Amino acid sequence: MDIIKTLLQKLFPSNRKQNEVVRELKTNSNFKTKDETEKGENNQGENKITPILLSAFGNSKDYKITAWHFKVGDIVQKGNILCEIENKKLMIEFESMINGRIRSICPANKMMHAGDEVCKIEVV
């Protein structure tokens, strides 16, 4: 924040304008002070929820989740097999790429396409 204040002092001679710009910055959800950045998002009670999307496998366009190995609320680790996905030619064990808690899952046996959401994981 000190760097920003120094920069604002050089850009705007008026304290009123400097304070106005700082207020505007603080209303931006992406703006964080040095202290907020060092604490991290998890300490502020704002856990990030990440949608996990189905990747394209080969030339097939249609996929189906045949079995889930976890349920909503379970904690998963990177590398855990979340579910089994198949198409006409192959069966794939779909791994978690992040650590976290499962917040939602796609129903089993639902037809899916590449880019569809498989589940949501909250980083904890």
pLDDT confidence tier of residue 36, bands split at 50, 70 and 90: low
User: Which pLDDT value is given to residue 80?
Assistant: 96
- Where is pLDDT greater, at 77 or 56? 77
pLDDT for res 9: 79
How high is the pLDDT of residue 35?
65
What is the rounded average pLDDT of the residues 95-116? 92
How high does pLDDT run on average in the chain? Answer: 82
- CA dist 115 and 119 (Å) reads 12
Greater confidence, 8 or 63?
63
Q: Is the CA virtual torsion 40, 42, 48, 50 positive or negative?
A: positive
Q: Which domains does the chain have, with CATH numbers?
A: 2-44 (no CATH), 49-122 (2.40.50.100)
Confidence (pLDDT) at 77: 96
Instruction: Please work out, in degrees rounded to the nearest 5, the angle formed at the alpha carbon of residue 115 by the alpha carbons of 113 and 121.
Output: 115
